[in-house]
Structure 1
């Protein structure tokens, strides 16, 4: 079985090393040896250290490599939308199986790849696109295919989880924790895709598509990052017996007309320390799946890095190579449910709201009235000194309010009205609360 490898960076290099080191075992598992037909790179002459590969295999013409008759499987670890989309569509339409780690492409236009795979009768595997080495997507699309999945909640970005874990452990602010993550190599020089939630949103779209048999794109995912999470938020979570995580949440539910829909969102949230995801720290990932028959399942492990991601890539390579040798094809995309994605405003959640307010009689009554007008029930209220208000406006107090479950639109409207009250100096913090009653 001959492979065309597109990309030879951190992940691609590890794929080459593992292919070399485990060649005998991989051949035994597949029933035929794996050989690299060629490796498409930007610069052929770049120093790649002691990579165990013949330099003659490198090329700067990926399309010519894909079109070669002796190529059976195309492995793409370049990333990005174009030209990766064109390369993979070309390969799939030609009947060549594809293994990709490209979460951005799958989340933006997975439909094109699935349609091309169906047209060419080829396999499309992408385990490495979500949660690195954790075997997650195959269970969703195969092992749990006989069950009904109702909810998927996950920590799927190692960089943000490291930052929030550091803030929780040391009391540091976001900027300090991000600096530490960058120094240790967990954060990119430009961390925007991670800290603003774009990476997690792409993964959430892929998970929702598989879990609910519906085509979900990154554009369907409500997205918020962690840049506004403060040390005070982390301390407040601790006082509640919670911790803060950037969560991807995909769930079934009914819309206002009672039709079954799905909700897909990514945002920071407080979760109780008793929740299985609360103990997931450092740069680890974990995904919590709730199914009707199987019950609650959790998948945990390293979600990024060259070697873990390459492990997932090679697992897919073994699967598609065995299928080709057997003249078989894996199950095609399952998108029969075609459920609508309901807007964030209809998602049911809880809010943790911290207010700096004037310290005088009637304030709590006025604040409670705002919640009542929007039909949002208050679960708990904690009051304390705020450390002094703006000059000339008298002393201030802090109100920390946690709501019961309500539609996000009603909660957001409540916060907007609170910001306009004369007695509210500022809405210091708003965070969602998940995983509790």
Structure 2
């Protein structure tokens, strides 16, 4: 066989530990797949005195990142965060090493800088684990569908929020109670903001949109709403209308541009995404030639994410040993990135109203005056005998028109409150 391919791992948390374990346990298989031995050059940690899992050799630990990077053929970044990850990756590229990263936040914020540096240096940069954990989605979008036109991506790409919403749906629990349980089980961080407010999903949406539409889409281009305002009543109303609530990352291409957004949405029970339970992830792709495709699996966790990292390591190491390059960044397109106001959706509105003659006609007229057409209306008695709850589903309408409708409805004497407004996707 050829000379060994030396792999440096930056970070020794849950994922980094599992990467080291797989590199060690599967050394023989990896050598045959790559065509050369794949060896661990070392593991960078800030403090080498902190006890580590037994699968990590003590003599492999180092706090000298520069020396480790200089000794490696492949540098694997699994630290997370923006710095020092960005600086270390740039140093690895400058040193001529191929790079593998699982850092979605870094790619969403600094992806173009890193891609350009890798392209200029003639080295590989792979990041399968940055989106949806173990699910192979970056490679299919970047390579397998490179000859097709992707029109839309709907993704459940955050396991924490899917777990929370699934528990609320299947057990009737309140949002706060489920988040607390998710924290106890390790699905949610002590500060769950990045997950429940959609920041994590938005970073992944930016990456997927950039790949799918062959243009640079930044985190700032992604409209974002989280799930913290979703209530038990919202979940119950969704079930009554034949839907479940999911936090979706949506990237879609229209005649006038591309739109990328993350928000809770009503998904019909017949749609494949409705059956994604627990902390699992799934990505549903619509393409002109391929049609509808769905990718489903573990979206997080040490071993699943490490599986995706190892796949990238094999690709980069094979190129080092046998020659060749991975795909370059494709960003030739320059479609306008649309604001949320330009996006059209179907909506479900829940509101409490005064139950009196002419009330429904007044509300229907308010929507009609803004060009928003009603598809269905359900009226249910409220606790107060003179009040009622209305659940209205609309036909597709621009977000800007719906924003004006909500202002007009809140000004009506008959409308006591608007409990929720949820978009309907997947129909």
TM-score, normalisation: structure 2: 0.97
User: Within the alignment, does 1:58 sit opposite 2:61 as a pair?
Assistant: yes
Match of 2:403 in 1: 412
Question: Any residues of structure 2 matched to 1:10-409 within 5 Å, and which?
Answer: 10-53=14-57, 55-66=58-69, 68=70, 70-255=71-256, 261-388=257-384, 395-409=386-400
Counterpart in the other structure of 2:9 = 5
Distance in structure 2 (CA, Å) of the matches to 1:410 and 1:88: 45
CA distance in 1, matches of 2:90, 2:369: 53
**Alignment gaps of 5+ in structure 2:** none
Most deviating of 419-428 and 310-319: 419-428
**2:294 match: secondary structure:** strand
> Does structure 2 retain, via aligned residues, the 8 Å contact 1:348–1:408?
yes
Contact in 2 for aligned 1:30/1:322 (Cα 8 Å):
yes
| Cα distance, 1:61–1:416 mapped onto 2, change above 3 Å | farther
Question: Tell me, what secondary structure is at the counterpart of 2:151?
Answer: strand
Contact 1:93-1:119 at 8 Å conserved across structures: no
- Residue 49 of structure 1: CA displacement? 3.3
The answer to whether the 8 Å contact 1:182/1:188 transfers is: yes
Q: Deviations over 1:186-227 (max 9, x none)?
A: 111111100000000000001101111011111110000000
Q: How far did residue 28 of structure 1 move?
A: 0.7
Partner deviation per Cα, 1:258-302 (whole Å, 9 max, x = no partner): xxx111000000011000100000000000001111110000000
Q: Which of 416, 424, 427 is equivalent to 1:433?
A: 424
Deviations 1:132-165 (A, max 9, x none): 1111110111111011110010100000000100
CA distance in 2, matches of 1:27, 1:89: 27
Does the CA-based 8 Å contact 1:20-1:52 persist in structure 2? no
Alpha-carbon separation, structure 2, partners of 1:243 and 1:400: 15
Superposition misfits of 4+ residues, deviation over 3 angstroms: none
Q: Does the 8 Å contact 1:89/1:112 carry over to 2?
A: no
Shift in Å, 1:63: 2.6
Take 2:271 and 2:7, find their aligned partners in 1: how far apart are those partners?
Answer: 43
Match of 1:258 in 2: none
Output one character per residue of 1:90-127: Cα deviation in whole Å (capped at 9) or x when no partner: 21133211000000000111001101101111100000
Partner SS for 1:376: coil
Aligned-residue RMSD, C-alpha: 1.1
- State the number of aligned residues: 423
